[in-house]
Amino acid sequence: MKKNKTARGYFLNTAVIVLLFTAFQILTAAKGSQGAFKLVLVPSIWQCCYLMVLAASLNLVLGFMGQLSLGHCGFMAIGAYTAALLSLACERAEWFDGKNDPRFLAVLIISVLAAGLLAALFSLLVGIPALRLKGDYLAIITLGFGMIIINIINNLPFCGQDGLALGSAGASLYKNGLGFGSKAKVQFLWFALAVTILSLTLLFMFVRSKYGRAIKAIRDDEIAASASGINTSKYKVLTFAYSAFFAGIAGALYACTNATLSTSSFAFTNGGILNSTFVVVMVVLGGMGSLTGSAVAAVIMFLVNYEIKNGQWVSLLPASLSGIFEYPMLVYALVLIIVILFRPKGIFGTYEFSLQNLIPDIRNAIKRHRAAKAEKEEAKANA
């Protein structure tokens, strides 16, 4: 019976994904050239895609394994630069000609995979020494590692500020590499969605296997985990690399959305949404230990960030309120503090959104709500 349920879950998820995917394709075909769809919605989906993958991959380390890594954007930077440079090199070697060339798809896939692999490789370099250390030390080493990566990329002659030269005269990613302009973003939207769904699925598979159990055990009690025969360092390093792989993939998706790359976007002191600490905010907001929570939180953070800067409703607010929104980072910091203070488990806690359990969950929630209401009324009546 249990196995049937699992099989049904797989079937349901696949069906819904395929359905959504088709819907998206139809929508794309119908509205592909329309301004707001092409210029606002599609680029937003692209950005949500890499933020979702990034946040979910960090959740593996932070939420499931209980290790604070503050250098996650370093891995993303590695991925972004790897994918960008590889695609530029392929173009220079004339392996593909424009985005409609079928060979481009091969280059694209290889670039994305290479981005993940290189990020995973670097994560081994930092993880093997660093993961022997406990929480706080790991945080500081990964933070330092993030800075080293930026520092090194800045100093590499072929990828610093020169290699991905600026603007239309330089080797633009839109023209020469895997970067997608507005029209191409619509055309390749399926790719972003596919990579994201696949990444999230693979992260899920990891968590729902012996690896997931092992790292949750490490999170809950490292000594007891090793006393239960779990090779803690092996699982920690492996998980770190698995997570970095997807951070690298997120980086590749990031490179796809941009015409140029700049290391300052990934830097610790950067005030933007790609700051490593902000990925931590997403994970905490969504719930440490809930991959779907991370994905939802990434979308929320993106929307808040986007709306604060480009939305119209901010200007509808009274002046005293909209004043705060001129400083989006201040809003995030406040949100983070409030969430930690009042709901330290984040929005989802460790709950995973699932299609299969959606209806029973809602039914239970309503039942609980009714029961609570009835109890309250009873209490009132008694009083």
Partner 1 sequence: MNTFFQTLIVGLRLGSIYALVALGYTMVYGIIRLINFAHGDFIMVGGYTMIFVIPVVLRLGLPAWAAVLAAIVVCALVGMGTELVAYRPVRKKGTNMTALITAIAMSLFLENLAQAIPAIGPNPKVASQIFKAGGIHIGTVTMEYTTIITLVISAVVMIVLFTFTQKTRLGRAMRCVSEDKAAATLMGINVNSTILLTFGIGSGLAAVAALMYMAQYPKVYTTMGALLGLKAFVSAVLGGIGIIPGAVLGGIVIGLVESFTTAYISSSMADTFVFLILIIVLILKPAGIMGKNIGEKV
Partner 2 sequence: MKTSRFFSILLVLCMVFCIAAAGGSAFAADDQIIIGLISPNTGALAAYGTGIVTGADLAVEEINAAGGILGRQVQLIKTDDQSDPTECLNAFNSLVAKGVGLIIGSATSGCTSAITDAANEEEVCILSPTATADSITTEDDFIFRACYADSFQGAIAAAYAKQAGFDKVGVVYCAADVYSKGLFDSFSKACAEYGIELAAEQSSASLDVQDYTNQFTAMVNAGVEFVYAPYYYDVIGPYVVPQARAAGYSGIIMGADGYDTTPDYVVAGADLTAFNDVYWTNHYDPSDTSEKVSSFVQAYEAKYGSIPSAFGATGYDCVYMYKQAIEAAGSEDSVAVRDALADRSAVYECVTGTFSLDESGTPLKGAAIISFQSDGSTVTSKLVDVVTQLP
Partner 3 sequence: MPEQKMPVLETRKLGISFGGLKAVSDFNIKIFPGELVGLIGPNGAGKTSVFNLLTGVYPPTEGTVILDGKPLNGKKTYQFVEAGVARTFQNIRLFKQMSVIENVKAACTKDIEYGLFAATFRTPKFWKAEKAVTEKAMRLLEICGLADVSELPAASLPYGRQRKLEIARALATDMKILLLDEPAAGMNPTETAELLACIQTIREQFGIAILLIEHDMSLVMNICERIQVIDYGQTIASGTPSEIAANKRVIAAYLGE
Is there a contact between 182 and 38 (Cβ–Cβ < 8 Å)? yes
Interhelix angle 135-155/102-130, nearest 10 degrees: 130
Q: Can you give the binding site for partner 1, defined by CB under 8 A?
A: 62, 66, 68, 70, 126, 129-130, 132-133, 135-137, 139-141, 143-145, 147-148, 151-152, 154-155, 223, 268-269, 271, 277, 280-281, 284, 288, 324, 326-327, 329-330, 332-334, 336-337, 340-341, 344
Helix (H, G, I), strand (E, B) or coil at 283: helix
Stretch that binds partner 2, among 35-43, 56-64, 95-103, 136-144 (CB under 8 A): 35-43
- Sequential DSSP letters for 131-175: TTS-HHHHHHHHHHHHHHHHHHHHH-TTTSTTTT--TTTS--HHH
For 113, the token pair is 């995979």
* C-alpha distance across the termini of the chain, in Å: 48
Stretch that binds partner 3, among 178-186, 223-231, 254-262, 303-311 (CB under 8 A): 223-231
User: Within 10 Å of residue 98's Cβ, how many Cβ atoms?
Assistant: 11
Nearer to partner 3, 180 or 206 (CB): 206
Q: With binding defined as CB under 8 A, does residue 229 bind partner 3?
A: yes
89 Cα distance to chain centroid? 27
Q: With binding defined as CB under 8 A, does residue 150 bind partner 2?
A: yes
Positive or negative torsion for Cα 31, 35, 36, 41: positive
Nearer to partner 3, 103 or 343 (CB): 343
Among partner 3, partner 1, partner 2, none, the one that 47 touches (CB under a kind-dependent 5 to 8 A) is partner 2
Helical residues (DSSP H) of the chain, grouped into ranges: 2-31, 35-36, 42-59, 72-92, 102-130, 135-155, 173-176, 182-187, 189-207, 210-220, 222-227, 232-257, 276-286, 291-310, 313-316, 319-324, 328-342, 355-382
C-alpha atoms less than 13 angstroms from C-alpha of 152 in its C-beta half-sphere: 12
Q: How far is the CB of 284 from partner 1 (least distance, A)?
A: 6
Residues 305-364 that bind partner 2 (CB under 8 A): 306-307, 309-313, 326-329, 342-343, 347-349, 351
Stretch that binds partner 2, among 57-65, 86-94, 227-235, 251-259 (CB under 8 A): 251-259
Among partner 1, partner 3, partner 2, none, the one that 145 touches (CB under a kind-dependent 5 to 8 A) is partner 1
Question: Among residues 194, 202, 324, 347, which is the contact residue for partner 3, using CB under 8 A?
Answer: 202
Q: With binding defined as CB under 8 A, does residue 354 bind partner 3?
A: no
Q: Which residues lie closer than 8 Å to 221 by C-beta, 6 or more apart?
A: none
Question: What's the burial of 330, exposed, middle or buried (CB within 10 Å: 0-12/13-18/19+)?
Answer: exposed
Rounded-to-integer distance, Cα 343 and Cα 346, Å: 6
Q: How far is the CB of 347 from partner 2 (least distance, A)?
A: 5
Q: With binding defined as CB under 8 A, does residue 98 bind partner 2?
A: no
Q: Which residues lie closer than 8 Å to 132 by C-beta, 6 or more apart?
A: 233
Question: Among residues 47, 69, 111, 276, which is the contact residue for partner 2, using CB under 8 A?
Answer: 47
Instruction: Report which of 161, 152, 163, 153 is spatially closest to residue 92, judged by C-alpha positions.
Output: 163
Residues 275-304 that bind partner 3 (CB under 8 A): 289
Residues at the contact surface with partner 2, assessed by CB under 8 A: 35-36, 39-41, 43-44, 47, 150-151, 154-155, 160-162, 165-170, 172, 174-175, 179, 181-183, 254, 257-265, 269-274, 296, 299-300, 303-304, 306-307, 309-313, 326-329, 342-343, 347-349, 351, 365, 368-369, 372
Residues at the contact surface with partner 3, assessed by CB under 8 A: 3, 202, 205-206, 209-211, 213-214, 216-217, 219-221, 223-232, 238, 242, 289, 350
